[in-house]
Amino acid sequence: MTHIHEHASVNTTYPDTRLPVPAASSSAVSWGAIFAGAAAAASLSLILLILGAGLGLTAVSPWESRGLDAGTVGIAAIAWLTFTQIVASGMGGYLAGRLRSKWVDTHTDEVYFRDTAHGFLAWAVAALVSAALLTSTMSAIVGGGAKVVGTVAGGATVATATGAASMANGSSAVEGSSMNYFVNSLFRANNPGTPANGAADPASPAAAPAPAAPSQQHVSPAQLGEVTGIFANSITTGALPQEDRQYVAQLIAQNTGITQQEAEQRVQSTYDKAQAKLKEAKEKAQQAADTARKTTSYLMLWTFISLLAGAFVASLCATFGGRQRDL
């Protein structure tokens, strides 16, 4: 008995060389690994987007028949956006799975599910961070397209009326505009070198002496503004009233020396040209609005698809990273 007691006392003096069993994780979510993966994904996504923007600017040329066309640039932008999402989300998901804490005494299926969830959460946090940083840009894209579609119907008419009002007030901001051109063309004098009404050449001996032309007056800015207002209102309503046409023709006859009938013909011809010009401008604006609507729709659709691809790749890569962590 004494020998056994002494032997037991000797054994207690040696240290315990057994490895400690790791404690089980208290939480199924490793937020540190998730935020680390999200930060890496957001940073890599930003770098790749900047690179893609640089490559896109080098592919587009302001000169005609040079560089890539709009369709090719759009396809390249969609492909680069998808590539960016896949690479950045894959990197973030892998880091989230590799850096998470090890779960002890956990079923394999549960570990697989948790790794997948870690990858998805890392992608979600990265997407929220990117959305917060790019909110103004996305709002400008979507809001700009909606604004173009919503205001295109009356945009050309409003612009014409605004230009007319500015001209009437003596503003120089609308000089060279279409309305300014049409109104000024009404008060042009006849070419003195061209015989009117089929008259013979004045230099010919047989030519009768031409009657003295009525005295021409200089058109005042107030008259230009008044005629501009009449044209702007009639183009807006879609018809030029008879009394307005006669009044404008009277002003033209007084300032150019042509007859009242010729002045009315000039007024009607100029009005038809201005109306055709406005119609052409409206059609071009509608085509531009439709193109912007389609472009915005395609951009949002492919952005949605690329984000889904990023979520899938992040979840898949997180399972690879978690498997490497548990080896």
Q: Using the predicted structure, report yes or no on whether residue 174 has a pLDDT greater than 60.
A: no
**pLDDT score, position 59:** 64
Q: Which residue has the higher pLDDT, 315 or 195?
A: 315
pLDDT of 101-121, one tens digit each? 888 778 888 889 999 999 999
Contact call for residues 185 and 270 (beta carbons, < 8 A): yes
Q: What mean pLDDT do residues 298-306 have?
A: 89
> How far, in Å, CA of 119 to CA of 122, rounded?
5
The pLDDT tens digits of the residues spanning 7-22 come to 444 444 545 555 554 4
CA 266 from chain centre, in angstroms, equals: 42
Whole-number pLDDT of residue 62: 60
Q: Where are the alpha helices (DSSP H) in 60-107?
A: 70-99
Question: Is it the case that residue 133 has pLDDT exceeding 80?
Answer: no
Q: Who wins on pLDDT, 185 or 88?
A: 88
- Which range among 121-125, 187-191, 275-279 shows the weakest confidence by mean pLDDT? 187-191
41 pLDDT more than 80: yes
Q: Are 262 and 252 in contact (CB under 8 A)?
A: no
Residue 145 has pLDDT above 80, yes or no: no
- Residue 100 CB neighbours (<10 A): 29
Q: Which residue type does 118 have?
A: H
Q: Which of 121, 133, 152 is nearest to 32 (CA)?
A: 121
Using the structure block, give the residue that is written with the tokens 């015989």: 195
pLDDT exceeds cutoff 60 at 244: yes
pTM score: 0.57
Q: Are 318 and 118 in contact (CB under 8 A)?
A: yes
Q: Tell me, what DSSP letter sits at residue 217?
A: -
pLDDT at 289 over 60: yes
